[in-house]
Amino acid sequence: MSRRAGDTLACMAVCPPGVEPLLDAELAAMGIARRNVVRGGVEVNLRPRQLYAANLWLRTATRVLVRVAMFDVHDFATLERNAATVNWRQWVPAGAQVTFRVSSHRSRLDHTRAIAERLAAAAGAPLATGSADWADGGSSYDDEGAPPAGPPAARFVARIDRNRLTLSADSSGEPLYQRGWRRQVAKAPLRPTLAAAMLAAVGWPAQGQPAQGQPAQGQPAQGQPAQGQPAQGGSSSGRLMLVDPFCGSGTVAIEAALAASGRPPGTGATPGSTRSFAFETWADFAPGTWASVRGEATQRLADAAGNDLTVMASDRDAGAIAATTANAARAAVGHLVAATHSAVSAIEPPPGPPPGPNDTAWVVTNPPWGGRIASGGDLRDLYATFGNVMRARFTGWRVAMLVADRHLAAHSGLGLHEALRTTAGGQPVQLLVTGPLTASS
Ligand SMILES: C[S@@+](CC[C@H](N)C(=O)[O-])C[C@H]1O[C@@H](n2cnc3c(N)ncnc32)[C@H](O)[C@@H]1O
């Protein structure tokens, strides 16, 4: 049932619904072929080196699963018998706990907790305390709820459909949106993976992705992006400018700086701010391969060093600016993110001429949307102010805003169209974007 070392692994890169085409484009840009987009992720065959690289570099993925086994489970007896054939020692380090995200459809066995207990018994490892929530996960691979807290556990996903169980090991461990560098959060923080999806949807450059103006095969060359597809910006030879005037804890700005400077999303400035991955604990983990994959990051950093990059983040809340500054420093992009305490009504674009055709200039932001933040005022006025400031001072820029309420966004008066539709904290959200702004936009 288990694979041999060096084999290609049947994997599933997991993401929130709606983000699949962006994740697929990320995998394509990494040179990974034979991908199959499914709801909630991309199925892909990876060699171990590619699996390590996927965990290190993917910005929009929640986790990367590796298929361990598939077997029939007509009853608990067949479950126990078949689970006993799994080479658990490959995936579960000595002394580790285990946790299972179990779902069951159209099948006789549907008591997810009891299934998780049987699988844990077969693995010869204790079920992690508090793993019930994760074990009772729904049909989606992407868990909006966090996996259990406590000591690290080897995580598995067990999906039963028509009495057949597919068991996958989670190669990421902590979800990939836990970047390591984001320790301080302001109000209503975005998941970094969602911020990365917003940036990918507008075509903000990232390591391994096609340069602006050079669409990946199958991407639209001009005009509006297809929904969920990377948009086209300017040229990689021009200035790269990004402003987030509602920056909160700085998630969008920091993700933008990491991507455009060729840094992996979860690698911080200090060992404590750099995340680790579950595959590092697997029995056939190849430290030399992993060191080589990480070594490539140095080259990517050098390749991106010539970028003319400006990232500005502002917020009217001083605590948010303190969080942004601390997070950016931990992410090793403190020198790339200019964080300013300012209301949106007072913001200005970076000094210099307005963006030209070779420049990439985006305002990418996540304004308050009511439900998540007590606004203390009328949000319609805030959106109107935002729109006025954009038109008056940001000529030539484009705007992308993540909103939960399209009608509220319309108060900005900006000509908006949808570039991405996904969920945030279980709530449907849309990324609305403009073309280059003019005074009459
Ligand atoms: C939804 S949060 C942004 C969260 C952010 N994307 C993150 O990941 O942390 C909206 C932010 O807008 C800020 N805000 C609200 N009204 C503002 C205004 N008039 N000017 C500037 N910032 C404002 C709030 O302080 C809050 O930090």
Pair 400, 201: CB distance under 8 Å: yes
Same domain, yes or no: 59 and 208 = no
| Residue 179: inside a domain | no
Measured in Å, how far apart are the chain's first and last C-alpha atoms?
60
pLDDT for the residue numbered 264: 94
Cα 375 to averaged position of ligand 1 atoms, centre (Å)? 10
Same domain, yes or no: 122 and 240 = no
pLDDT for the residue numbered 45: 97
| Residue 439: inside a domain | no
Confidence of residue 304 (pLDDT cuts 50, 70, 90): confident
Same domain, yes or no: 316 and 199 = yes
| Residue 180: inside a domain | no
Comparing 13-22, 260-269, 305-314, 358-367, the range with the smallest average pLDDT is: 260-269
Comparing 200-209, 289-298, 323-332, 342-351, the range with the smallest average pLDDT is: 200-209
The DSSP call for residue 278 is: G
Give per-residue pLDDT as tens, 386-427: 999 999 999 999 999 999 999 999 999 999 999 999 999 889
Pair 157, 168: CB distance under 8 Å: yes
Nearest atom (ligand 1) to Cα of 190: 8
pTM: 0.90
Q: Tell me the average pLDDT across 298-320.
A: 92
Q: Cα(259)–Cα(256) distance, rounded to whole angstroms? A: 5
Q: Kindly tell me if the per-residue pLDDT of 134 is higher than 80.
A: no
Same domain, yes or no: 158 and 238 = no
Of 170, 201, 231, which one is at a domain's C-terminal end?
A: 170
| Residue 163: inside a domain | yes
Confidence of residue 120 (pLDDT cuts 50, 70, 90): very high
Same domain, yes or no: 255 and 366 = yes
pLDDT for the residue numbered 123: 97
pLDDT for the residue numbered 347: 98
Cα 304 to averaged position of ligand 1 atoms, centre (Å)? 30
- β-bridge partners, 239: 308
Give per-residue pLDDT as tens, 195-238: 999 999 999 998 644 333 333 333 333 334 455 555 444 345 79
| Residue 182: inside a domain | no
| Residue 114: inside a domain | yes
pLDDT for the residue numbered 302: 85
Same domain, yes or no: 342 and 403 = yes
Cα–Cα distance list, 36 to 20, 23, 129 (Å): 10, 11, 35
Identify the CATH number of the domain in which residue 342 sits.
Answer: 3.40.50.150
pLDDT for the residue numbered 353: 94
b/e per residue 148-160 (b: at least 16 CB within 10 A):
beeeebbbbbbbb
Residues spanned by the domain of 244: 192-265+300-433
Q: Cα(86)–Cα(1) distance, rounded to whole angstroms? A: 6
pLDDT for the residue numbered 232: 44
Quote the longest CA-to-CA distance of the chain. Answer: 72
Same domain, yes or no: 134 and 219 = no
Same domain, yes or no: 96 and 153 = yes
- Give the total number of structural domains in the chain: 2
Percent of the chain scoring above 70 in pLDDT: 84
Same domain, yes or no: 118 and 231 = no
Pair 357, 235: CB distance under 8 Å: yes
Same domain, yes or no: 146 and 220 = no
Identify the CATH number of the domain in which residue 91 sits.
Answer: 3.30.2130.30
Q: Cα(242)–Cα(400) distance, rounded to whole angstroms? A: 11
Q: What residues contact residue 387 under an 8 Å CB cut-off, 6+ apart?
A: 411, 412, 413, 414
Percent of the chain scoring above 90 in pLDDT: 73
| Residue 101: inside a domain | yes
- β-bridge partners, 427: 424
pLDDT for the residue numbered 297: 86
**Ligand 1 binding pocket, CB closer than 6 Å:** 186-190, 245-246, 248-249, 251-252, 315-317, 320, 343-344, 366-368, 373, 382
| Residue 294: inside a domain | no
Same domain, yes or no: 260 and 394 = yes
Same domain, yes or no: 213 and 156 = no
- β-bridge partners, 167: 69, 158
pLDDT for the residue numbered 219: 38
* Token pair listed for 15: 């993401």
